[in-house]
């Protein structure tokens, strides 16, 4: 059926309300059947491809189309939400370091007799040199006959293991910031004349160095202290062939990576505590959480046997729960563990407690912090995923998305110039926008779902510092995805820790405007020229006013 045949239908022109409602229902039924038919065709094609593969043949090839199809998975809202602006090329001359000046002369024999000297003009050219800097250290050796002991001069800092800090820093920077794989790194060094083994390079890139790990932990703690809100997202990764999850948390001053086997609510609490040992505590916070999730009163009464207002380790709490296993099911046990872990997290003072998370609406993020700021771009993707079949529904969806992103831009303007009057107006505008009923059933259901998230979507009205989207965390997660695509994944727990450590340091140095290579070389050579990253975060945070509205309240 050609959907354009139904385009002339104008429901508003039908005077009979019953007929209008019936036709609207039929249009939604057509939409539903078209979606089911599309899903069945896709499933049928997948089964055919699988059958062909089982017979040793190839499935139907997939070709990328210039135009997005109905089943496209590209849900970007870039063009809809961005306003065109003027682009100006900024100066870069002041950022270029001049290492030498070379005077170029004109061959006097080529000049005519009347040529006059008019001075010089400057042309700045940037170049790099990749060459071996092999050093032969002649270490003095002294011997004491009376003590029967030899004394040897020490190598400079960073020159252990036959290679200097420059090579080590370059290898780490290229591997973790530019995603250059280990074989390609070795190939690059060999072409430059460096004799290096695959084993040494593998150890350098996957070694869980205590000094860098300590600084990454300090970065995370300082970052958590720098603002009351933080971005959070996760992405799938593989460790030794097994699926795990990389969690990304940060704000404008830092980004931290933590990889864990799971991504449930307990794991989110683990991430906020920097992966330290789990602790559990029964107190008023835990009781409020259990009431919020809907644990029955009889099950809550059984917690009277648990110690109150004291931290317990995981083995102890699991033992207490095992004693109640006849009355507590798996879901109830999970709720209790989450409640007690949340209470212990909020009671501890080793790690700063996050007040607000900026994230998507994944269930594991709910209830972890006092406030949740949902990402508007993620919410907009739900509308982009709708693929109406009928032209009428396509028009209704396009019109509503236009209003959606227009309201988003109003929120952006409010962040720049917040006021009480504008706050009230935007709250009322939200109610009006998401009370819309179009007659397109799937769109109306989606609008109603968005309406239920009002408090989290409009938290920016109370705290204008909050970003409206979670793009920084998603882009940081994409960096791990690119690394995973290039290097597949770490092969050991030490490699997993190295990935987390160096991705944290690479992302944070970038946000602080530092060269990752210069930072790594400074640390490897113990030069002490680059301040601790945690100190830089702490020093720069006040100027950004990341928590001004929280402080005012």
Q: Span 414-420, mean pLDDT?
A: 96
Q: Does the structure show a pLDDT above 60 at 344?
A: yes
Which of residues 68 and 184 earns the better pLDDT score? 184
Q: Which two tokens stand for residue 289?
A: 């959480």
Q: Where are the domains of the chain?
A: 3-42
Q: What is the pLDDT of residue 68?
A: 54
Q: What is the pLDDT of residues 461-495, one digit of tens each?
A: 999 999 999 999 999 999 999 999 998 889 999 99
**Does residue 342 surpass a pLDDT of 80?**
yes
Burial class (CB in 10 A: 0-12, 13-18, 19+), 64: exposed
Residues forming a β-bridge with 245 = 236, 260
pLDDT band at 24 (very low <50, low <70, confident <90, very high): confident
| 482-532 pLDDT tens trace | 999 998 889 999 999 999 999 999 999 999 999 999 999 999 999 999 999
Of 64-68, 107-111, 172-176, which range is least confident?
Answer: 64-68
Tokens coding 464: 């204008």
The C-alpha atoms of residue 387 and residue 397 are separated, in whole angstroms, by 9
Whether 91 has a pLDDT exceeding 90, the answer reads: no
pLDDT value of residue 17: 78
Cα separation, 120 vs 116, in Å, equals 12
Higher pLDDT, 16 or 435: 435
* Interacting residues of 283 by C-beta distance below 8 A, sequence separation 6+: 308, 309, 343, 347
Whether residue 65 has pLDDT greater than 70: no
More confident residue, 74 or 452: 452
- Per-residue confidence band for 27, with pLDDT thresholds at 50, 70 and 90: confident
Q: Percent of the chain, pLDDT > 70? A: 93
Residues 6+ apart with CB under 8 A from 393: 27, 31, 440, 443
Asked if 522 and 528 count as a contact pair (C-beta separation under 8 A), the reply is yes
| H or E stretch covering 199 | helix 198-206
- Angstrom distance (rounded) from CA 552 to CA 463: 10
């Amino acid at each position: 059926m050609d959907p354009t045949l139904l385009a002339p239908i104008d429901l508003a022109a039908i005077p009979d309300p019953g007929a209008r409602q019936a036709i609207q229902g039929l249009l939604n039924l057509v939409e539903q059947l078209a979606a089911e038919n599309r899903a069945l065709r896709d499933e049928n094609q997948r089964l055919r491809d699988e059958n062909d593969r089982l017979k040793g043949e190839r499935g139907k090839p997939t070709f990328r189309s210039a135009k997005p199809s109905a089943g496209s998975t590209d849900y970007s809202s870039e063009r809809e939400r961005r306003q065109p602006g003027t682009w100006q090329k900024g100066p870069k001359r002041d950022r270029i370091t001049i290492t030498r000046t070379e005077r170029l002369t004109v061959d006097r024999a080529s000049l005519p007799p009347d040529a006059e000297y008019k001075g010089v003009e400057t042309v700045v050219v940037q170049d790099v040199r990749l060459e071996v800097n092999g050093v032969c250290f002649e270490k003095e050796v002294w011997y004491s006959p009376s003590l029967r002991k030899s004394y040897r001069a020490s190598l400079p800092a960073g020159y252990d293991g036959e290679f200097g800090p420059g090579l080590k820093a370059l290898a780490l920077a290229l591997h973790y910031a530019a995603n250059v794989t280990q074989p390609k790194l070795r190939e690059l060094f060999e072409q430059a004349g460096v004799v290096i083994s695959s084993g040494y390079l593998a150890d350098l890139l996957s070694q869980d160095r205590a000094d860098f790990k300590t600084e990454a932990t300090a970065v995370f703690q300082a970052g958590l202290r720098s603002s009351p809100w933080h971005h959070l997202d996760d992405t799938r990764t593989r460790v030794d062939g097994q699926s795990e999850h990389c969690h990304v948390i940060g704000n404008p001053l830092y980004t931290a990576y933590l990889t864990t086997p799971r991504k449930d609510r307990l794991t989110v609490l683990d991430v906020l505590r920097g992966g330290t040992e789990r602790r559990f505590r029964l107190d008023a916070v835990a009781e409020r959480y259990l009431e919020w999730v809907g644990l029955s009163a009889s099950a809550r009464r059984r917690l009277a046997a648990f110690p109150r207002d004291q931290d317990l380790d995981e083995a102890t709490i699991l033992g207490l729960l095992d004693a109640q296993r006849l009355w507590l099911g798996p879901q109830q046990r999970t709720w209790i563990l989450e409640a007690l872990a949340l209470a212990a997290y909020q009671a501890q003072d080793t790690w700063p407690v996050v007040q607000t998370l900026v994230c998507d609406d994944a269930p594991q993020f709910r209830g972890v912090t006092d406030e949740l700021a949902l990402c508007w771009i993620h919410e907009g993707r739900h509308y982009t995923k709708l693929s109406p079949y009928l032209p009428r529904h396509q028009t209704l969806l396009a019109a509503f998305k236009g209003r959606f992103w227009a309201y988003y831009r109003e929120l952006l303007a409010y962040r720049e110039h917040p006021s009480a009057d504008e706050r009230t107006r935007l709250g009322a505008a939200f109610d009006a926008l998401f009370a819309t009923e179009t007659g397109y059933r799937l769109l109306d259901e989606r609008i109603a779902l968005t309406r239920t998230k009002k408090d989290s979507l409009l938290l920016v009205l109370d705290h204008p510092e909050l970003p409206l989207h979670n793009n920084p965390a998603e882009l940081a997660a994409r960096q791990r995805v690119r690394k995973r695509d290039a290097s597949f994944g770490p092969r050991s727990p030490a490699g997993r820790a190295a990935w987390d450590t160096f991705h944290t340091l690479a992302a944070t140095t970038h946000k602080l405007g530092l060269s990752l290579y210069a930072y790594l070389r400074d640390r490897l050579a113990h030069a002490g020229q680059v301040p601790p990253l945690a100190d830089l975060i702490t020093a720069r945070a006040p100027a950004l006013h990341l928590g001004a509205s929280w402080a005012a309240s």
